[in-house]
């Protein structure tokens, strides 16, 4: 799988995880309470969410009310509201950054810089998944402990809602997408020589202990004699060439 295909795969998976994160934040189904009275007509279902609470009657009517005050929520839901919002912000920023550093775009010229930007975006998506996992597990642990506690009234026992399961699934999807993005294009260092062969060993350079002093040296040739006056004396005596007579 090439670099471009890995980036597209990671972006698609991360986008699906962001959708699940947004759905988990919006729907009022973090906790579900089922109350059935003496008559089936009095049955009702209570849904608790981060932003609103809903009550559904057995007749099919539903009434929802917004949580105007944060203090009305339990501690885990108060922390979940803040952490989920931060997770959405981190995930959205990381998702946009991956498009800026994608290889198929021209926002950044150097390939090494593109790879680093994509890795940063993938790390932000992984952080978003961790920020979502913390409130989901916290709320699930408190719901289960209250359900199993003998001090809790039977009509007030709550169960895990759909938002908890969606949050767990979105966390896994975001982790997969972030890991794919961080490992799709690691920055490569410039390579010299032939691929597959180790580089040549590097030896440290040390200056000579007693550096020699070099100067011009003039040596006469072996077949010629050199005098200080600059005159040239041949090694053999010079003879006059014989005269030739022209034939008639």
The tokens describing 2, both together, are 């090439």
Q: What is the pLDDT along the chain (248 residues), one digit of tens a residue?
A: 577 788 888 899 999 999 999 999 988 888 888 665 554 555 778 888 888 888 888 777 888 888 877 777 888 888 999 999 999 999 999 999 988 877 766 667 777 777 888 889 999 999 999 999 999 999 999 988 888 888 777 767 788 889 999 999 999 999 999 999 888 766 555 555 555 555 666 666 666 656 555 556 555 555 555 555 555 566 666 566 666 665 65
Look-up of token digits 């729907």: 27
pTM of the model: 0.68
Sign of CA dihedral 225, 227, 232, 238: negative
Under DSSP, is residue 152 helix (H, G, I), strand (E, B) or coil? Answer: coil
pLDDT for the residue 163: 92
pLDDT for the residue 177: 93
């Amino acid at each position: 799988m090439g670099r471009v295909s890995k980036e597209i795969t990671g972006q698609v998976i991360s986008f699906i995880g962001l959708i699940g994160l947004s759905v988990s934040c919006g729907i009022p189904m973090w906790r579900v309470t089922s109350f059935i009275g003496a008559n089936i007509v009095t049955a009702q279902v209570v849904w608790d969410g981060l932003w609103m609470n809903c009550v559904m009657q057995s007749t099919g009517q539903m009434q929802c009310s917004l949580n105007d005050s944060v203090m009305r929520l339990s501690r885990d839901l108060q922390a979940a509201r803040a952490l989920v919002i931060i997770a959405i912000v981190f995930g959205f920023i990381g998702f946009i950054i991956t498009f800026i550093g994608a290889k198929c775009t021209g926002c950044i010229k150097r390939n090494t810089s593109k790879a680093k930007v994509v890795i940063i975006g993938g790390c932000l998506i992984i952080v978003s998944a961790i920020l979502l996992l913390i409130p989901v597990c916290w709320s699930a642990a408190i719901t289960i402990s209250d359900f199993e506690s003998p001090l809790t009234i039977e009509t007030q026992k709550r169960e895990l809602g759909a938002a908890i399961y969606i949050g767990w699934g979105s966390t896994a999807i975001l982790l997969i997408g972030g890991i794919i993005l961080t490992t799709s294009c690691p920055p490569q260092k410039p390579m010299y020589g032939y691929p597959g062969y180790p580089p040549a060993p590097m030896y440290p350079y040390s200056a000579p202990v007693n550096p020699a002093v070099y100067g011009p040296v003039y040596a006469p040739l072996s077949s010629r004699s050199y005098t200080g006056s600059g005159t040239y004396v041949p090694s053999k005596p010079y003879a006059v060439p014989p005269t030739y007579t022209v034939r008639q």
